A and B are shown apart, each in its own frame.
Chain A
Amino acid sequence: MASLKDLKTRIDSVKSTQKITKAMQMVAAAKLRRAQEAAESARPYAERMGSVMANLSTTMSGTPGASPLLVGTGADDTRLLVVMTADRGLCGGFNTNIVKKARERVQALKAEGKSIKIMCVGKKGAEQLKRLFGSYIVDSIELSGEKTITGSTAIMIGDKIRHMFEAGEFDTCELISSEFVSVISQKPRAKVLIPAKDAIDEGVERPDLAGAVYDAEPDEESILNVLLPRYVDTVILSSLLENVAGEMGSKMAAMDNATRNAGELIDKLNIIYNRTRQAQITTELTEIISGAEAL
């Protein structure tokens, strides 16, 4: 049986672990609020961008010479999967769930006979995917250098994707990230990024033009050429922001659980500690009494 001193040390160590998880939970809660605000304030831009794109794409996608970013290359042989995860662990099943989704997609696409390329955003996903599909990974981006996610982070990722697209390295692109359903629920999801035509949600509200035709300046094609890359960046940015919010929500829940578990463990250890102490006292008393009786 463990000595009293051993038990005491264990209790102390669990207590300090509990303090750390508690602190991490509070930090995650604060960061979650900020991340939610950021995701919220980015939404109007993404929404307006979506409806403008929906408008333009209906008039443009029929015309020959429309940008391949919008209508695709015509082929669908190579698909780029952009897998977005967090840079840090200790956030429950957050990263694992995204990787699991990525694995499902890879298997489904392989069954369809497509070739696959993977771009990892975030360190944790890259580590897990490297073990599974190391040969597919063409690029991996870490976010730990950035304190907060801003437009320029998204533009950096968007530029890389566009460069690859222009070089003909893939035909279609899919984004795998986490959807922020609520603080306690995050769902991994895959959505099409390129061709943008398929990415534009059919449910997007289109402004009622009352029969009028858009006047465009300089002309619709050049506007679309400016707008498309920006649209891609916007989708990436909102996914990144949603991912951060999801990571923090998941981390908060995980750390809350850990704190509670540590509390239970401390209670259990305390009971063992008290029992052991009592047993020791009883033994000592019996020894003294029997010693006295022997005299």
Chain B
Amino acid sequence: MADKLHFDLVSPERRLFAGDVDQVVVPGEEGDFGVLPEHAPFMSVIRPGAITVMNGNETEKTFIHGGFAEVTPAGLTILAEEAIPLSEIDADKLAQDLADAREDITAAKSDEEREHAEALVVKFEAMQAALAA
């Protein structure tokens, strides 16, 4: 297996990664899956969580919130709504944000505000889970 997997990670604002890697592990809606070179064509919705990019001896984790993965013979493309490298997440600040968002749920005046705060809590919890793993 000499070939490498071509991997693109793009968010609406910019292209975050483009290059050849050995393997990418993606948290799919129905469970994590690993993508190796010459994977069969496949597409999946991504649940909030960290993707793991493995290249040689290096592994890099990036938190993805909301997105979509597509595997074609040409490689893997992840369209992420939000992507933050795990190394850039500050655990203390995250805990603070999570507490704030939880407060917002109880303090919310309208359904819209509550939904917004609940979505934030889900996102921050997923980030914490990804950090702990």
Where the two chains meet, the residues of A that have a C-beta atom closer than 8 Å to any C-beta of B are 38, 41-42, 44-45, 48-49, 52, 56, 150-151, 154, 207-210, 212-218, 222-223, 226-227, 230, 233-234, 237
Docked-complex contact A207 and B74, CB < 8 angstroms: yes
- From B68, B73, B79, A207 is in contact (CB under 8 Å) with B73
Docked-complex contact A48 and B8, CB < 8 angstroms: yes
A208 CA to B79 CA, complexed, in Å: 19
| Tier of interface size on chain B | 20 to 34
Mark contacts of B19-40 with chain A using CB atoms, 8 A cut-off: 1 yes-contact digit, 0 otherwise: 0000000001110010000001
Stretch at the interface among B9-17, B54-62, B87-95, B121-129: B9-17
Instruction: Output the nearest chain B residue to A233 by Cβ-Cβ distance.
Output: B12
Docked-complex contact B42 and A217, CB < 8 angstroms: yes
Given A41-B14, A150-B13, A234-B12: A216 and B74 within 8 A (CB)?
A: no
Instruction: Output the nearest chain A residue to B68 by Cβ-Cβ distance.
Output: A227
Docked-complex contact B45 and A52, CB < 8 angstroms: no
Instruction: Output the nearest chain B residue to A149 by Cβ-Cβ distance.
Output: B13
Docked-complex contact B8 and A151, CB < 8 angstroms: no
A240 CA to B77 CA, complexed, in Å: 24
CB A161 to nearest CB in B, in angstroms, measures: 17
Chain A-chain B contacts (Cβ-Cβ < 8 Å), number: 85
CB A223 to nearest CB in B, in angstroms, measures: 6
A227 CA to B77 CA, complexed, in Å: 14
Please indicate the chain A residues that have their CB under 8 angstroms from the CB of B68 in the complex: 52, 223, 226-227, 230
Please indicate the chain B residues that have their CB under 8 angstroms from the CB of A38 in the complex: 13
- From A151, A215, A223, B12 is in contact (CB under 8 Å) with A151
Where the two chains meet, the residues of B that have a C-beta atom closer than 8 Å to any C-beta of A are 8, 10-15, 18, 28-30, 33, 40-45, 68, 70, 72-74, 77, 79, 81
- From B13, B30, B42, B74, A218 is in contact (CB under 8 Å) with B30
Please indicate the chain A residues that have their CB under 8 angstroms from the CB of B11 in the complex: 45, 151
Instruction: Output the nearest chain A residue to B29 by Cβ-Cβ distance.
Output: A218
- From A45, A217, A222, B79 is in contact (CB under 8 Å) with A45
Please indicate the chain B residues that have their CB under 8 angstroms from the CB of A41 in the complex: 13-15
Docked-complex contact B81 and A230, CB < 8 angstroms: yes
Docked-complex contact A44 and B45, CB < 8 angstroms: no
Instruction: Output the nearest chain A residue to B15 by Cβ-Cβ distance.
Output: A44
Given A42-B12, A42-B14, A52-B68: A210 and B81 within 8 A (CB)?
A: no
Docked-complex contact A218 and B45, CB < 8 angstroms: yes
- From B8, B10, B44, B74, A217 is in contact (CB under 8 Å) with B44
CB B29 to nearest CB in A, in angstroms, measures: 6
A49 CA to B40 CA, complexed, in Å: 20
A212 CA to B73 CA, complexed, in Å: 9
CB B27 to nearest CB in A, in angstroms, measures: 12
Please indicate the chain A residues that have their CB under 8 angstroms from the CB of B10 in the complex: 44-45, 48
Docked-complex contact B8 and A214, CB < 8 angstroms: no
A273 CA to B42 CA, complexed, in Å: 78
Top 4 closest pairs, chain A to chain B, by CB: A207-B72, A41-B14, A217-B44, A45-B10
Please indicate the chain A residues that have their CB under 8 angstroms from the CB of B13 in the complex: 38, 41-42, 45, 150-151
Docked-complex contact B14 and A223, CB < 8 angstroms: no
A250 CA to B79 CA, complexed, in Å: 32
A42 CA to B72 CA, complexed, in Å: 22
Docked-complex contact B42 and A215, CB < 8 angstroms: yes
Docked-complex contact B45 and A217, CB < 8 angstroms: yes
